[in-house]
Structure 1
Amino acid sequence: MTILTAHSLGKYFGAQDIFSDLDFAISRGDRVALVGPNGTGKTTLIRILAGLEPPTTGQLHQAKNLKVGYLEQHASLASTTGTLWSLALSAFTGLRRQEAELQALEVELAHTPDEPAHSTLLEKYGEAQAQFELAGGYTYEQTTRQVLTGLGFETEAYHKPLTEFSGGEQSRAQLARLLLEQSDLLLLDEPTNHLDLASVEWLESYLQNWPGSVLVVAHDRYFLDKVATKVFELSFGSIETYNGNFTHYTQQRADRLERRQKEYEAQQAFIAKEQEFIRRNLAGQRTREAQGRRKRLERLEKLDRPVEQKQINLNLQAPLRSGDL
């Protein structure tokens, strides 16, 4: 099922054309790596998908009630009050409301011993309790601890004021909250920037089991290999889609570039041959045929020269991992 579709999406800043005519789709369960040279508009595109800024042209269609979570590259919680624990638990606002309602029903039951009111309340409590359990009400605090631990937080940091956190810690705290919110579409701009190796590997595993969809920008090729099932390459103002992880993308890209180079060279050879025929025969006995060929050339859709691989520098770096030596 497609959850997001872009048609002819474009973005301009004044006279500067960042990208134009982007067409792509994200389906439920897709884990997309957005790659491309620096300055091609990856962060701008993510912000458009997150609804934080509008496209200049084109349309963006989302599935009804789509819940989108977004991690900025330089996420900051400097103006956020509270602690790491309170921030993480804010992802469960609905569950905590249900929990408070259950507690209120328990108090009411204790003060309503007489029938039939007690039985009516007990039935209401049972239904509310079943819904609470089904929604993960009895495990959400355990899940919160698992996510915080996975992202490298010690238990001592749980009740530390967020204002005392470093920039990297604030980014990790924001990532934790987003993961706990269970969005339908998770947009992550450089999520591994402030993670150590153990946390990166934990995040890989967590995203592999993510029930929704993910679009991520990262400079860790190993991370992209583990996480991505699809690659969007944004370069020179356009976007291309490749199926598979980052390794598959690099091979497919090389194959596609080679095929396009051959198609381009074949067309150039055809054009040169036709132009030579026109030059030799335009004023001779085969003038009409030469004029016809010239008109066909004028209508021919010219192929662009393929961009060489060396012109796209993804600048992907990754920490040394066990088994890499």
Structure 2
Amino acid sequence: MLAGLTNVTFEFGARAIVEDATWHIQPNERIGLIGYNGTGKSTLLKLLVGQYQPSEGTVERSRGTSIGYLHQDLLSFDTSDSILQVALGAFERVMQLEKEIEELGKQLENSPTSGLSAEETDALLHKYSDRLHEMDTLDGYNIHHKTEEVLQGLGFSNADLQRPYREFSGGWRMRVLLAKMILQQPDLLLLDEPTNHLDLPSIEWLEKYLVHYQGSVVIVSHDKYFLDRMVTKIVEVYQRQLHIYNGNYSYYETEKVQRVELQQRAFENQQDYIRQQERFIERFKAKASKAAAAQSAMKRLEKLDRIEDVAIERPNIRINFQVDKVPGKVLCELKHITKKFGDNTIVEDTHAEINRGNKIALIGANGKGKSTLLRIIAGAESFTGERKWGHNVDESFYAQHQLEALDVNNTLIEEMKAAGSQKTEQELRNLLGCFLFGGDDIDKKIKVLSGGEKARVALAKTIISKANFLMLDEPTNHLDLHSVELLIDALNKYEGSLIFVSHDRYFVSKVANTIWEIDNHKIKTFDGGYEEWNEWKERQKQRAEAAGGQKAEGGNKKAEPKAEPAPKKAEPVQEAKAPVAEVKPQGPINKELKKELQKQQKVFQQLEEKIGQLNQQKTTLEAQLTAPDTYSDRNRFVQTETDYKKVSEELQRLNKQYEEVFEKIMELEAQA
């Protein structure tokens, strides 16, 4: 065991964060620490590193265990050193050896003229040799290469490496500190929301790095994709207890529901037993012949280990985006847009159009100008070119800086009034209630709120105007996983249009129906969702590799890629304004290939129908399993439960087959 908690209780004043909690972290574990906002995830990390002391129980750390802890408070660190020097601070001993070796080398070089005796020179040579050996053992000659590799993986260019640390913003500083921490390679790495500060390529790099990390990792994150791909265990802070699940986040979601269902079923069965025993006692306690039996039944009930009623407790944000008026077909046109910061060109002479019903995700690495483009659309950034609004457009802009723009001395209700919505105080109170602020919370000052609470206030201010066009910059930052799900649900029901920047791949995949990518200073539009865009990019990459590493762009440089239709419905691929790389080579049609493609498409359609029917059966059986009539008839309950298991197993089998056929269609389409 590297570190852990044994029977730990920790309290803030009268509020208990955890009670009698036990959690042991073993070597080479990758753990996701999750829980709703305010349940104490960051507090647990501080307990593990010794910043807080438990009220009861013990916090254990193995002797010699090194711990690295990345958290927001590190941003107070400042220096004029280059970011390369800051990151190289991970190798303190190697840096010290470099200085010693340099100094010893100078002494040896000057030994003939410095009056040193032969014995003193020999001693220097031995010391010099020892330092060189230690340097070699620590792989000290490769630290610059390693450091540059990690910094580049986290999004820094070669030109950035010598820039002073203090020139960078908070998010980029956090990346430098993350680089330093992973280069130190502690036995236990504790990361508190690191993906908040990373773009998609950097998140993917960090995933790959941590999967092969030679140590244990505990990470707090609201990125489902990241947790699914990186962790092998979930620890949930829930109802002041720690619940451990041996699997990734998807496994946790399924397993938690099953655990709750099992406990609920056990609770209901026990309640039936209790009611039966109480009826027996009530009926026979006055009869002499049955008094002893009634007394025994009473003792059994007293000794009974009661099962608690259970239901998944969730703080539900009731987000409801309302739209006052319907806009025209085109909401916004961008014509000949150019934006530069000195020599840094963001976009140049680019065009794009936002249409009614678009839910656009701006995709790309940090520094490509996603947030800048969003501000251009919002009118919060200067540019050259033309931005033209359509008819009846009411827009609302949620920016990352809005959290800082909140007046920290205002109460929540004062902040909402300052938004100028003309709503009554009671209407504003009701809206804040939708965002989990009730009772005395309304009169809290903004400055005492957590990051997640401030984010909810800023979101509430965004939707207060009943806009039909939303511009959202990282709306999921500081929201817990469940709140992200609720926001996804609300945006999917939203009747207006939106454009957003987010590095949360799960959020993007569930909300976007159009992808904008800033590539070579142009806006490239893909008419499809995130998964389809990823598949398209992968096919482009494979074709480029197949063509000998040259980009299969053909001769038509002006053609910009439009999305291939999603192959989910097994429809033939059609392309609008397709790049030349997508044009099929002229020649005889492979009839066998076409025949096989049609066959797989037919199988795919049949599987869709079967899965739909089985899902309906499963829903019906679930309803029957919750009906009291089913539980009152044992044979009926057993049969219903058996049918439910059979349907679930068949669904699992067909879904696997569905994925296999889908992949086969993708391969055939690529060859066609």
- Give the TM-score normalised by structure 2: 0.46
Two-structure CA RMSD over aligned residues (Å): 2.3
Match of 1:246 in 2: 249
Q: For 1:79 and 1:310, locate their aligned partners in 2 and report how far apart those are by CA, in whole Å.
A: 40
Amino acid at match of 1:304: E
- 1:115 CA displacement: 5.5
Matches within 5 A, 1:161-176: 161-176=164-179
Q: Which moved more, 1:212-221 or 1:158-167?
A: 158-167
Amino acid at match of 2:47: I
Match of 1:307 in 2: 311
Compared CA separation, residues 57 and 214, structure 1 to 2 (3 A): same
Match of 2:16 in 1: 17
- 1:143 CA displacement: 0.7
Match of 1:202 in 2: 205
Q: For 1:287 and 1:264, locate their aligned partners in 2 and report how far apart those are by CA, in whole Å.
A: 28
Q: For 1:79 and 1:140, locate their aligned partners in 2 and report how far apart those are by CA, in whole Å.
A: 23
Match of 2:224 in 1: 221
User: Which among 282, 288, 304 is matched to residue 279 of structure 1?
Assistant: 282
Matches within 5 A, 1:73-92: 73=72, 75-77=74-76, 79-92=78-91
Amino acid at match of 2:482: L
- 1:70 CA displacement: 0.9
Q: Which moved more, 1:176-185 or 1:302-311?
A: 302-311
- 1:142 CA displacement: 0.6
SS of the aligned residue for 1:54 comes to: coil
SS of the aligned residue for 2:20 comes to: strand
- 1:128 CA displacement: 2.3
Q: For 1:221 and 1:215, locate their aligned partners in 2 and report how far apart those are by CA, in whole Å.
A: 15
- 1:301 CA displacement: 1.3
Q: For 1:164 and 1:126, locate their aligned partners in 2 and report how far apart those are by CA, in whole Å.
A: 40
Q: For 1:323 and 1:67, locate their aligned partners in 2 and report how far apart those are by CA, in whole Å.
A: 41
What percentage of residue pairs aligned between the two structures are identical?
35
Alignment length, in residue pairs? Answer: 324
Match of 1:26 in 2: 25
Match of 1:38 in 2: 37
Q: For 1:42 and 1:73, locate their aligned partners in 2 and report how far apart those are by CA, in whole Å.
A: 13
SS of the aligned residue for 1:305 comes to: coil
SS of the aligned residue for 1:34 comes to: strand
- 1:30 CA displacement: 0.6
Whether the aligned pair in 2 keeps the contact of 1:38 and 1:314 (CA below 8 Å) is no
Amino acid at match of 1:207: L
- 1:104 CA displacement: 2.2
In our comparison, the structure showing a higher alpha carbon Rg is 2
The answer for unaligned runs of 5 or more in structure 1 is none
Match of 2:296 in 1: 292
Q: For 2:50 and 2:80, locate their aligned partners in 1 and report how far apart those are by CA, in whole Å.
A: 25
Q: Deviations over 1:44-94 (max 9, x none)?
A: 111111222222222111100221111114641454443312211111111
Q: Which moved more, 1:113-122 or 1:238-247?
A: 113-122
Does 2:260 match 1:257? Answer: yes
Q: For 2:310 and 2:228, locate their aligned partners in 1 and report how far apart those are by CA, in whole Å.
A: 26
SS of the aligned residue for 1:53 comes to: coil
Amino acid at match of 1:16: R
Whether the aligned pair in 2 keeps the contact of 1:35 and 1:314 (CA below 8 Å) is no
Compared CA separation, residues 125 and 79, structure 1 to 2 (3 A): closer
SS of the aligned residue for 1:244 comes to: coil
- Give the TM-score normalised by structure 1: 0.92
Q: Deviations over 1:198-226 (max 9, x none)?
A: 00000001111111111001011110111
- 1:121 CA displacement: 4.0
The answer for unaligned runs of 5 or more in structure 2 is 317-480, 486-503, 509-529, 537-565, 567-672
Compared CA separation, residues 291 and 27, structure 1 to 2 (3 A): same
Whether the aligned pair in 1 keeps the contact of 2:4 and 2:48 (CA below 8 Å) is no
Q: Which moved more, 1:85-94 or 1:200-209?
A: 85-94
